[in-house]
Structure 1
Amino acid sequence: MRLILLGAPGAGKGTVAKLLTAMDGSVQISTGDILRAAVKAGTELGKKAEAAMKAGELVSDDLIMGIMKERLQEADCKNGYLLDGFPRTIPQAEALKGLLLEIGDELDAAVNLNVPRDVILDRLTTRRTCVDCGAIYNVKSNPPKEEGKCDKCGGAVVQRDDETEEAISKRLDVFTEQTAPLVGFYEKEGLLLDINATSSDAVVESIRAHLAK
């Protein structure tokens, strides 16, 4: 399967991606991951990306598309891939369309995970993260056995600065402004699969049913 996962921060894209990749051996690709990998590998594009990041600048779309082109042609993408958090803007979506044409590939669907804003706020403001090993907890549904202490490594479990109600509201506003228009773009392309994403299993089932048609 070749999918784009669209959805606000906290919509559950990461969880859904893990379930889908386990199903058919496709790979999850996020822009952050491929940028870090290119920097680590010291490729020409990686060096340029690193220079931009060190200068505190956004990595240009041209650079991201160059790195994405290399990544999508690697052997592990033969079984399929899930693009998580990319594209973020209409120009990136247009560029991706051109890139896929160029490498002779095409998308099966752009899956939009629809989650009500109040659910996302509740989900993210109750999330806690271990500062040492990165384990994720939820004070309501999955708290650590000992308050404030990680079950796995004993590190401090805290609320991240970007997961306070004010910070999340801001992130959701930015998402709505920049990324939500992609839903309209992929609808016009005839690729949109809109899913009410209350449960990850239900999302996976809907995607499987759609691809089987």
Structure 2
Amino acid sequence: MLTMLALLAAVRIMPALAADPQQYDLFADNGSLDSAQLEEVIRREAERVLGERIKKYSHEPSSFGYTFDGNDENFLDIKISFKYSPFDNGLSKLDRPAKSSSWRWNLPYLYFAFSMRQAFYVETERDSNPVIGQRFNPEMFARYWLNDGGYLDFGYNHESNGQSITSAEAFTEKQNEFIAEGKSTALANEFISRGWDYWELTYKNNINAKRYGYEGFSYYLILRRFLSEGLLQDGVEEV
């Protein structure tokens, strides 16, 4: 994978090298590159291209870890989150060229996103799944890039914990299962389904990003309106 990125990077940067070799501080005094210097330039370009791809498709922070919980068993915690737009090139207005004044650069872009969190008990007496909670969060939103590098999102989202109990009868049945196994009936609470459809308005910006040329500190303002009836959630779950 990295080799392929390096080859693609080489194809992309070679015209620039030929046009203006002095822009790279790795060049020799005569404006040419030896093999070691060329390899370093390709490595840097490959890292830059990979970073752009990760930034373009990442949504919420993804993570993989092991949680030590003083009130419960320890567990393995995995979160994956990504987004995709068939229209956006992933550049904020700070990254875009001078032609960003064109109307094409100032339209909102449609995104589809999905976030999933799964947590598992490992080498404990409890069942592997579920643990404290699961999360499934598909999203569809329009993103409008602001001139200062921030953005404004307006979207329709669904979030659920991926559990199966949606009625009092199913809850009682699960409690009876745990009684037959000699376990606490409180464990049945972990199987209760919870889900919501909601509208979300998100504003994000970066402190000093434009002044210093890097991301700096990011902050978010989020407003949500939860719905009693939705496209993916049929009514409020009352169990």
TM-score (norm 1): 0.24
Name the structure with the higher strand share.
2
Larger-gyration structure (1/2)? 2
Name the structure with the higher helix share.
1
